[in-house]
Amino acid sequence: MFTQRVSHAHVRESALATYMSQIFNYMAGGVAVSGLAAWITVNSPAIMQAAVNAQILFLIVWFGFGFFMHKIIFNMQPKTALMSFVAFSALTGFALSPLALIYTGASIAIAFFTAAFMFAGASLYGYFSKKSLSGWGNFLMMGAWGLIGAIVVNLLVALFTGSPIEGLSFVISLIAVPLFAGMTAWETNMLKDMYASHAGDDVHTSRMAIFGATSLYMNFVVMFIHLLHLVGQHRQ
């Protein structure tokens, strides 16, 4: 009986590890797709100009997808949901490519690898933590909504006055980096804890993996953008 319990526990741990690996493989694939889309855009003046002109539209699509991605993903078949994530990743890479016109290549690389290091550390903490991080949820969500509010205010001020509030962008970035690192740890922990509730449903598990990968991918992108704002050197 004891051997049987150990065997079942081993199977559950193995299935959980496979599920979490799938999430992070999807997420890493999304980052790779974004990188390829950005590289193609940077090397085509016509596509780059289109990316510059589409920034407002991209922000609307990005925030809209973020708000409704649970409904979008869980109302699709897994393959369709995965293709939607791939398309979203490509769109993000296309829209972020104008950063190459503002910041040096070295700055972009430093911000990217710093974000990757922080993301990996936060994810590992969330995965291997012996305690539930569910108590972080309300605090992190309040912080995220406050940050979104500050960003919207800054954009509106810039739209109507021609320039954003002095210093607010820097403060937003200073808060966003640790906030979304915390979000990454919390979401990783939640994805691990939630696995048991849908482990027997392959379709739901696949959707959950895509949903988790999308959410973690968005955390990584936000961390990268704000790190670049904090440490990036502008082109002369």
Question: H helices within the chain, ranges in order?
Answer: 2-42, 45-53, 55-74, 78-96, 99-102, 105-128, 136-161, 168-198, 202-231
pLDDT given at position 12 = 67
* One-letter identity of residue 47: I
The sign of the dihedral angle between the CA atoms of 223, 198, 207, 71 is negative
The full DSSP string for 52-116 is HHTHHHHHHHHHHHHHHHHHHHHTS-HHHHHHHHHHHHHHHHHHHTTHHHHB-HHHHHHHHHHHH
**How sure is the predictor about 2, in pLDDT bands with cuts at 50, 70 and 90?**
very low
Maximum Cα–Cα distance across the chain: 73
- Residue-wise pLDDT for 116-145, tens only, equals 999 999 999 999 888 888 788 788 888 888
Residue 28 has pLDDT above 50, yes or no: yes
Alpha carbons 69 and 73: distance in angstroms, whole number: 6
For residue 83, the number of C-alpha atoms closer than 13 Å in the C-beta half-sphere is: 5
What pTM, to 2 d.p., does this model score?
0.89
Alpha carbons 154 and 151: distance in angstroms, whole number: 5
Lowest mean pLDDT among 42-46, 143-147, 222-226: 143-147
Residue 87 has pLDDT above 90, yes or no: yes
Q: CA separation (Å) from 91 to 30, 37, 113?
A: 11, 8, 21
Q: Other CB atoms closer than 10 Å to residue 74's CB: what's the count?
A: 14
Tokens for 121, please give them. Answer: 């550390």
